[in-house]
Amino acid sequence: MLIGAVIVAVGLGLLLDNLGIIRFNDVWRFWPLALVVWGASRILESRSMSGYVFGGLLVLVGAILLLDYFNILIFEFDIWQMIWPLLIIGFGVSLLLRAMDRKRYLEGVPPSTANDLGHFVLFSGIKRRIESQDFKGGDIVAIFGGVNIDLRRAGITGERAVIDVNALFGGVDIRVPDSWRVVLKGMGIFGAFEDKSVPPRPDPNVKTPELVITGAALFGGVKVDN
């Protein structure tokens, strides 16, 4: 909805500018509002502290840029010299909080075995099918590469399995059984974590295995489906 509204607003502004009603160039002065709106949407949709930190940082940066542009706040130094370190600090804090969140999910999960994941790809790709009935999770790192994991014939004997996925200019595609419940705890920064799986129907007599996906996607994508 946010992206669609921005596209409509840009098109409307260009149309009114061509008709001589407004000067669209004046509208670009308010571009930091996009950061404020983006940050506010991240705060509203987030369910973790790291999402609140990242969203709040976007709102702060957008507000500082707006106030500086209209000379409401006058800084004696280059504004970007403060913003870039803030972005780096916020990104690092978000990763730390994600790591703490992942550690909480790993409590009670037995150590990984040889049947679990442990893949690192760099300028390459890998496809793997896992049929272990005692799957516990693992780690995937994709840098300028792709990873395709098929878990449709795997099983989880414990309460959950945890996969930590980090994609940098890469993509990771994970397919899971339709009886598993997927919980996404990853963070997308100019990237995306997508859960396209259909949740299983709740049955009090049947235990529903849970697959937790953590990590970060920076200019990359992570997709889970069944």
* pLDDT tens figures, 37-66: 878 877 777 666 666 777 788 888 888 887
Kindly list the strands in the beta sheet with 221-225, ordered across the sheet, starting from the edge strand earlier in the chain: 125-129, 146-150, 171-175, 221-225, 192-195
* pLDDT tens figures, 67-119: 777 776 666 666 667 777 777 777 777 777 777 766 666 665 555 544 467 88
Round to whole Å and give the CA distance between 200 and 202: 6
Q: What is the pTM of this model?
A: 0.61
* pLDDT tens figures, 140-196: 889 899 999 999 999 888 888 888 888 888 899 999 998 899 988 877 777 788 889
* Ranges of each domain in the chain: 31-105, 113-225
